[in-house]
Amino acid sequence: MKIVVIGGGPGGYVAAIKAAMMGAEVTIVEKEKVGGTCLNVGCIPTKTLLASSEILEAVKEAKEFGINVLGDVQVDFPAVMKRKDKIVEQLVKGIEFIFESKGVKLVRGFGRLAGKDKVEVTMADGAKEILEADKIILATGSVPIVPGMFPYDRERIITSDEALFLQEAPTSLIIVGGGVIGCEFGQFFSKMGTKITIVEMAEQLLPFEDEDVAKQLSRAFKRDKMKMIHGEKIVNCVVEGDVVKATLEGGKTIEAEKALISVGRKPYLENLGLEEVGIEVRNGKILVNDQMETTVPGIYAIGDIVDSPFLAHVASKEGLVAVENAMGKSKKISYKAVPRCVYTDPEVAAVGITEKQLIEKGMDYHVGRFEFRGLGKAQAIGKFQGFVKVLVDHEDKIVGASVVGPHATDLLAELTVAVHLGLTAEEVGDVIHPHPTLSEALMEALHDVHKACVHSL
């Protein structure tokens, strides 16, 4: 079985490795670095930067823990970026090493469909090569959206792609969009000394999460002296010399050294040859079934180019499902329990349906909640802002959950399993949780569903 994968991001490279492990002859085509957006200009580099700002914050707060740090604490911004680059480089090399060890052939160039069983690759020097394939997996990812009103010059008006390669923190920054990308970059640069203004057209940060979740994060941002403008949008933006001027819908003008556009991403489908082979595209995304197969048998599509959440872990799962089916098995994708993570301080993590959605659907539900400040471990480590919130249906099945607080993105795994398996609050709440740990907050929230939480006031 010959399988060709177009795109080496978290969906494509995982699919390629899995296919090789299952005995296929695999070729992966990537025009840039393997790892895609996630590894090179997304998940990994942003978390690396946030780790640096977290260390900075810990040093500043050291005195509260009885540790005296003598002298001024200074940020070496180029060194922060250099560490990020080193980690990314190591991980890219790691993927390439796995390719070699598993027998995955890496072809560097731009891949497009040249037929239902052929991929044309254009190399950097213009040379072309045709790859024969029994099955093809499309995994070309996405690119940032930049609305036309912004004079995108990659210097004053930037996206996350350029923000990750700045060699000094801007003195001031307008962030357009208060979603995951905007919040993470906003808090990082704020801790680096940048004056931040986030403009979000919705009435809250993280518009797709519940109001109480967004409020908790907003309180933290206010403590960091970050300015937030909700419920307004930018209608005009110009660069005048060294200043970016943005005009809000209400007529007010805000200024900064740079503006970071973080309003979302769009599928990268340019020049892929989809129409030539008859692959159906709907609303700008490739149409697939629950086995990740397109409307052309034998060609699969995964990740940001299909109608599913723009998340690396979703793309990876879709890649595994696509390969299983390409290799003759029968595997279906389920989006019932997709984790959503924001790596701010406090972290935000959620899975399943939100309370807002439950209300909109008119569903009968119950809520369990527990504040981290009620935990001994949270008090001991000085991280007690936030809460765990569990949502159950009329049968006590856990249908959604949110965690805002220390290590929220790690703690969410237990509740993700619960939503995926359809477990009840009673079943998971009966599990003995270790003490003293942050995971006790999950247990307490589950107990609170039945008003049986012994540590609530």
Which alpha helices (H) appear in 261-369, and where do they start and end?
274-277, 312-326, 355-361
> How far is the C-alpha of 405 from the C-alpha of 402, rounded, in Å?
10
State both tokens at 197.
């203004």
- Residue 251 annotated as lining a ligand binding site: no
Our answer to whether residue 435 is catalytic in this structure is: yes
Which of the following is catalytic: 366, 394, 435, 455?
Answer: 435
User: Taking 90 as the threshold, does the pLDDT of residue 204 lie above it?
Assistant: yes
**Is 7 assigned a ligand-binding role in the annotation?**
no
Q: How far is CA 433 from CA 220, 410, 439, 447, in A?
A: 28, 15, 7, 12
Does the annotation place 180 within a ligand binding site? yes
pLDDT of residue 352: 98
Local structure of residue 181 (DSSP, 8 states): H
The answer for 455, left when phi > 0, alpha when psi is -120 to 50, beta otherwise, is alpha
Q: Is the predicted pLDDT of residue 456 greater than 90, yes or no?
A: no
Spell out the domains of the chain, with CATH numbers in brackets.
2-144+266-326 (3.50.50.60), 157-263 (3.50.50.60), 340-448 (3.30.390.30)
The per-residue b/e assignment along 230-268, b for 16 or more CB within 10 angstroms, e otherwise, is: beebbeebebeeeebebebeeeeebebbbbbbbbebebb
177 assigned to a ligand binding site = yes
Residue 303 annotated as binding?
A: no
Tell me the β-bridge partners of 260.
158, 175
Q: What is residue 40's predicted lDDT score, i.e. its pLDDT?
A: 96
Amino acid 9 reads G
The annotation status of 308 as a binding-site residue, yes or no, is: no
Q: Max Cα separation, the chain? A: 71
Distance of alpha carbon 135 from alpha carbon 286, whole angstroms: 17
Per-residue pLDDT at 51 exceeds 90: yes
- Residues β-bridged to residue 376: none
Taking residues 64-84, report their average pLDDT. Answer: 95
pLDDT tier, 295 (very low <50, low <70, confident <90, very high otherwise): very high
111 is in an annotated binding site: yes
Contact 323, 302 (CB under 8 A): no
Residue 457: the pLDDT is 73
Mean pLDDT, residues 433-456 taken together = 97
- Please check whether residue 305 is in contact with residue 269, taking contact to mean a CB–CB distance below 8 angstroms: yes
Position 74 pLDDT exceeds 80: yes
Residue corresponding to tokens 């995971």: 439
Question: With 90 as the cut, is the pLDDT of residue 175 above it?
Answer: yes
Residue 24 above 80 pLDDT?
yes
The reported pLDDT for the residue numbered 293 is 98
* Joined tokens for residue 109: 């160039």
Dist. CA 377–CA 202, nearest whole Å: 35
Distance CA(131)–CA(123), nearest Å, equals 13
Average pLDDT over residues 172-185: 98
Q: Is 193 marked as a binding-site residue?
A: no
Q: Which residues contact 205 (CB under 8 A, 6 or more apart)?
A: 178, 179, 183, 198, 214, 217, 218, 221, 228, 230
Q: From the DSSP assignment, how many helices (H) and strands (E) are in the chain?
A: 14, 25
Per-residue pLDDT, 212: 98
Q: Are 416 and 339 in contact (CB under 8 A)?
A: yes
Average pLDDT over residues 241-256: 97
71 is in an annotated binding site: no
Q: According to DSSP H, which parts of 382-433 are helical? A: 408-421, 425-429
pLDDT in tens, 310-329: 999 999 999 999 999 999 99
Exposed, middle or buried by CB within 10 Å (0-12, 13-18, 19+), for 73?
Answer: exposed
Find out whether 178 is annotated in a ligand binding site.
yes
- Phi, psi (degrees; rounded to nearest 5) at 443: -60, -45
**Residue 404: pLDDT band by 50, 70, 90 thresholds?**
very high
Q: What mean pLDDT, rounded, does the chain reach?
A: 97
304 is annotated as contributing to ligand binding: yes
- The C-alpha atoms of residue 286 and residue 265 are separated, in whole angstroms, by 15
Q: What pTM does this model have?
A: 0.96
Q: What separation in angstroms does the CA of 297 have from each of 243, 280, 294, 302, 363? A: 52, 12, 7, 15, 39
CB 398 within 8 A of CB 443: no
356 is in an annotated binding site: no
> Is residue 33 left, alpha or beta, with left meaning phi > 0 and alpha meaning psi from -120 to 50?
beta
Alpha carbon distance 176, 159 (integer Å) = 10
